[in-house]
Amino acid sequence: MNVSIYENVIKDIDGYVFDIIDNGFEDIQVGDDLFKNVSQRGLDELVDFLSTKHRDYYPVLNFVRKSPLNQEEPNFIHTDEMMGDLTAVLYLNKTYPSGYGTTIYDKDNNEVLICKAKYNSLIIFPSHVKHSRNSIHNFGTGNDARLIQVCFLKKII
C-alpha cells in the first residue's frame, strides 16, 4: 500500500479556508446516503498541487465537508473504491482533538496506520483501502467544526 503525506500544501491556507467557509455548505443526497454540510469544489489549488504529485491521475470529485460534533455521517470504516483510484484528504482545522486524523485498516479491520491531522497537511492513499476518521462523533461547532477537503483521483488510461 502506497500512502503519501504532505505538509504546507496550500500557500495562503488561512485565506483558502476563509473562502471555503464564506461560500457555505449544503446537504447532498447520493443514493441512500445523505452527505451533510458539503461544498463542491472545481479546479482549485488542491487540484493544482495533486496534479504536480500525481501526473497520471485526474480529479473526478473534489469537495469540502464540515462535520460538527455529533453530526451523523453515512460511513465510518469504508472504502472509496467506487469514487476513483486515489483518495486525498486535506486537513483544514487549525487545531484538532488529541489523536485526530485518519486511520487505515487491513482487510480484517485491524489498524495499520494512524495519520494524525495537522493544519494544511494532506494524506493520499489508494481508494480501495479501508479507512476512517479517528473520531466517530466528529468535533467542534460553527467555524471550529471538523473541516476536510476530499479529492478523488482516477488514473489516466
pLDDT of 72: 81
Bridge partner list, 35: 28
- Cα–Cα–Cα angle for 58, 79, 72, rounded to 5 degrees: 110
**pLDDT tens digits for range 37-86:** 999 998 999 999 999 999 999 999 999 999 999 988 778 999 999 999 99
Q: Which three cell numbers stand for residue 17?
A: 479556508
Q: What is the number of other CB atoms lying within 10 angstroms of the CB of residue 91?
A: 24
Q: Which of 63, 19, 69, 66 is nearest to 43 (CA)?
A: 63
Segment 101-115 mean pLDDT: 95
Return the percentage of the chain with pLDDT > 90, whole number: 85
* Beta carbons of 138 and 73 less than 8 angstroms apart: yes
Q: Where are the chain's structural domains? A: 4-155
Indicate the pLDDT class of residue 28, thresholds 50, 70 and 90: confident
pLDDT of 1: 75
Question: Residues of 102-132 as b/e, b for ≥16 C-beta within 10 angstroms?
Answer: bbbbeeeeeeebebebbbbbbbbbbbebbbb
Q: What is the number of other CB atoms lying within 10 angstroms of the CB of residue 147?
A: 23
pLDDT of 74: 75
Judged against a pLDDT cut of 80, whether residue 15 lies above it is answered with yes
Mean pLDDT of the chain: 93
Model pTM? Answer: 0.94
Domain 4-155 sits in CATH at 2.60.120.620
